[in-house]
Amino acid sequence: MKFHRTADSYTQGARTMPGEFYTSPDIFVEEQERIFARVWNAVGRASAIARPGDYVLRDVAGESIMLVRDKGGALRAHFNVCRHRGTRLCTEPSGHLETIQCPYHAWTYGTDGRLIGAPHMQQVEGFNRAEFSLHAAAVAEHEGFVFVNIDRHPASFADGFAPMLERLTRYRIGALTVGHRVVYDVHANWKLVFQNYSECLHCPVIHPELAAVLPYQSGENDLVAGPFLGGSMEITPPNESATLSGRACGPLVNPALGDAARGRAFYYSLMPNMLVSIHPDYVNYYLITPIAVNRTMVESEWLFPEADEASTNRQDAIAFWDVTNRQDWDIVARSQLGIQSRRYEPGPYSPRESIPAAWDREYLKMMGRD
């Protein structure tokens, strides 16, 4: 894997974006249509819907999507909209279903989305149940992560995600299990979350715990343009992982990894709504959901190899990032407040901020502003 020093991808003259991109309700609505409604969104782990009939609800570009494991074991993504009069079918965030029944007039669907019951519609001339299956969204799975695309003509997942597929596979993330989950309510625009994640120039100031383990000047990036960005940082010896103690919190996620990979942690941002942090002994990831122009929901899960609890110290990794995350959410909330000022104007990026600058360029391209 070829790496680039952060400064190698720096573009002279790069500046932060105008304030309206973080404060305008109109731009917020436009983002939902131009970005989130057109591309592949990460929606969580397949383990949350492991058995036939299990489902979870996810929000994608303002649409309620039912992710269901059908009776044949296939993963389905249905728009949460009855084909009769448009009623929302499910309201509980997760559960188990034998069939999907509308609470209004009892139209009933199989877990695969087919309409199997429609009271009194046999009296309607020409009515054909086969024409009224639930509207489907495209769904894909890779290394245990589930992705949904609600566009009517979705691009190929394999083609679109090609740069990330091998980077996830080499760590055997599909074999990891969820060990902890937390939801953060961040009082900042969603783009500030991405930009903050994409640089560590702030780490010595904001993150003393992190800076002691991952020196900010050790960053090397292997994805420097496009919708997927990031690379690695050195885990400074004698530290073994990104934990409060510096010790590994359990077995390696992939024992076949070489010594070089064991000594680095990898951090990637995946447009439009996912951040992935890969460490030698665990992975944690974040799903970014814009709630309002100045508010973002961030869901995070920590993934670990299967191991005897007595031989692990998972809390060491969980606490490390929970502390770091809360430091980040505080500073991006302060950024949001400052950007809302009448006197805010775009400022210059440094070479150590080349990745957020690249992220801005991709965002503006997706918004038709390049």
**4-38+175-366 has CATH 2.40.50.250 classification:** no
| pLDDT of 5 strictly over 70 | no
Residue with tokens 């993934």: 303
Give the pLDDT confidence score for residue 7 in this predicted structure. 52
Tens of pLDDT, residue by residue over 49-65, are 999 999 999 999 999 99
- Candidates 3.40.50.1000, 3.40.50.300, 3.40.50.150, 2.102.10.10; correct CATH number of 41-154? 2.102.10.10
CB 9 within 8 A of CB 358: yes
Q: Minimal CA–CA distance to 65: which of 35, 44, 84, 85?
A: 44
**Chain Cα centroid distance, residue 136:** 21
Give the pLDDT confidence score for residue 97 in this predicted structure. 96
CB 10 within 8 A of CB 354: yes
Average pLDDT in the 87-112 region?
Answer: 98
pLDDT band per the 50, 70, 90 thresholds, residue 222: very high
Structure tokens at 143: 């290394």
What is the DSSP secondary structure assignment for residue 151, as one 8-state letter? S
What is the number of other CB atoms lying within 10 angstroms of the CB of residue 334? 13
- The answer for residues whose C-beta is within 8 angstroms of residue 126's C-beta and 6 or more apart is none
Q: How far apart are CA 356 and CA 230, in angstroms?
A: 10
What is the DSSP secondary structure assignment for residue 126, as one 8-state letter? T
Q: Minimal CA–CA distance to 337: which of 22, 21, 16?
A: 22
| pLDDT of 40 strictly over 80 | yes
The proportion of the chain whose per-residue pLDDT surpasses 70, expressed as a percent, equals 97
Length of the chain: 370
The proportion of the chain whose per-residue pLDDT surpasses 90, expressed as a percent, equals 90
Q: How far apart are CA 351 and CA 86, in angstroms?
A: 51
- b/e per residue 75-98 (b: at least 16 CB within 10 A): ebbbbbbbbbeeeebbeeeeeebe
Sheet holding 54-60, edge to edge: 75-79, 63-69, 54-60, 94-96
Q: Minimal CA–CA distance to 215: which of 264, 175, 277, 273?
A: 264
Residue span(s) of the chain under CATH 2.102.10.10 come to: 41-154
CB hemisphere CA count around 197 (13 angstroms): 29
CB 168 within 8 A of CB 145: yes
Average pLDDT in the 203-213 region?
Answer: 94
Give the pLDDT confidence score for residue 30 in this predicted structure. 98
Q: How far apart are CA 70 and CA 206, in angstroms?
A: 46
| pLDDT of 140 strictly over 90 | yes
Give the pLDDT confidence score for residue 260 in this predicted structure. 67
| pLDDT of 323 strictly over 90 | yes
Give the pLDDT confidence score for residue 13 in this predicted structure. 86
Give the pLDDT confidence score for residue 307 in this predicted structure. 83
Maximum Cα–Cα distance for the chain, whole Å? 76
> Which one has a higher pLDDT value, 356 or 370?
356
pLDDT band per the 50, 70, 90 thresholds, residue 300: very high
Give the pLDDT confidence score for residue 335 in this predicted structure. 98
Q: How far apart are CA 38 and CA 247, in angstroms?
A: 42
CB 269 within 8 A of CB 228: yes
β pairing state of 138-142 and 75-79: unpaired
Give the pLDDT confidence score for residue 309 in this predicted structure. 74
| pLDDT of 250 strictly over 70 | yes
pLDDT band per the 50, 70, 90 thresholds, residue 10: low
- The answer for residues whose C-beta is within 8 angstroms of residue 30's C-beta and 6 or more apart is 367
Average pLDDT in the 27-37 region?
Answer: 98
Give the pLDDT confidence score for residue 261 in this predicted structure. 72
Residue span(s) of the chain under CATH 3.90.380.10 come to: 4-38+175-366
Q: How far apart are CA 79 and CA 77, in angstroms?
A: 7
Give the pLDDT confidence score for residue 157 in this predicted structure. 97
Mean per-residue pLDDT of the chain? 94
| Of the listed ranges 36-45, 182-191, 306-315, 338-347, the one predicted with least confidence | 306-315
